[in-house]
A = this chain, B = another copy of it.
Amino acid sequence: MKEITKAVFEGYTYVEGGVCAAKGFKASGTYCGIKASEIPDGNESPIKAKNDIGMVVSDTLCTVAAVYTQNKVKGAPITVTKNNLTKTGGKARAIIVNSKNANTCNADGEQKAERMCQLTADALGISPEEVIVASTGVIGQVLPIEPVERAVPVLVKELAYDGNVQAATAIMTTDTVKKEIAVEFEIDGTKYRLGGMGKGSGMIHPNMATTLNFYTTDCKVSADALQAALSEVVNVTYNCLSVDGDQSTNDMVCVLANGEAGGNEIVTGTKEFEVFKKALYIAMLHITKMLAKDGEGATKLIECRVTGAPDHETAKIIAKSVIRSPLVKCAMYGADANCGRIMCAMGYAETDCDVTKADVYYISKAGKILVCENGLGLQFDEDLAKAILSEEDITILAQLKQGSSEATAWGCDMTYDYVKINGDYRS
């Protein structure tokens, strides 16, 4: 049900392996009991719980690009990772990441995040600055370090070139499916791979970054080119995603490039750069859609495509306004073809663009229906509209007729389960 159709791109092949698809990357994941309430008491047999800590390690030093949350309240791991990458000039060897606790709004947060890097570095025989640290989960609760201390040797021991699933499940919180993707492509006769993993699924309304997402590639890419590709692709993928309008404190997307596949270094302004950037786009587009469709309580992937805008930014603001609207999200859940809510949400989007003359369509594999023309609600075939909106993947198309730019944003419907999941998240 939560599957996403893989878009077809000529010259790129989807492969298995997630963060381990590219040469020279190992991963692992385990359960260590970060959440106190899950730790078995006394001599009870241990609960077999979901992985809550994971590791990704490259055989060789990587060039790293990263983007982070714009929230002013930032998780301690964000601060420590930024510091580490500054010290190394954007190089890293390993990622350590836990779920169940965000290590944010804690007095000893940075100290604990640094300790996670030190533990990882010691076990791997590398420098602590070469470690990227990330955490996701409850905010404002002290992170217990003992489970991490117990886990790190296990994680190092279990590192494997096919350990991607172990790592991908370790970063899940309220996610119902693991999120992985990998593609293979060729530049000048050399085969490269790029893969990644991500986690959702609430508190998602990114701005320049989102949620926890880690990508790896065996391309050799210059630091500038890697950061340029990341920033550009994030802008049209993760930054066009909204599950609930809540922007997390711990969002991070990073890409590690180890150059293990050989070939020349990729630099900006070249044909090779475009090929690489497209691989990143394909992977990030897929994970973005996965995050949208697995939004907390979601039953549907909702895509809003705004065309005929004066510029891309305007189209994006309008598309995100529609995707974020709780009333639109509820109507999508109820398969109610309420075009007034689309017009309303476009009308309060923070742009000067005239949206009052828009045409609005609902599209899915069950068909396409025009529900609003020149800003005016139409009488339409309610049965067809219901059939279209009863599908799992729905596109809302708004043609503004104000220019030639467009943008697409992704989100999900709002259901009883969103309320249920978030009514008592901490317990």
A positions within 8 Å CB-CB of B: 70-74, 102, 104-107, 138-142, 202-203, 205, 207, 244-249, 324-327, 330-331, 333-334, 336, 338-341, 343-348, 354-356, 371-372, 375-379, 414-416, 418-427
Contacts and interface: CB of A to CB of B under 8 A. Distances in A.
Given A73-B346, A375-B105, A426-B336, A245 B325 contact: yes
Contacts of A106: 376-377
A425 B336 contact: yes
Contacts of A336: 423-427
Contact of A73 (B245, B324, B344): B344
Contacts of A202: 327
B344 A203 contact: yes
Contacts of A371: 140
Most interface-central of A104, A336, A345, A419 (chain B CB within 10 A) = A419
A291 B324 CA distance: 22
A140 B377 CA distance: 4
A331 B425 contact: yes
A330 B423 contact: yes
A173 to B, nearest CB: 13
B422 A419 contact: no
Nearest to A70: B348
A99 to B, nearest CB: 15
A145 to B, nearest CB: 16
Nearest to A336: B424
Nearest to A71: B347
Contacts of A416: 416, 419-420
Contacts of A104: 340, 343
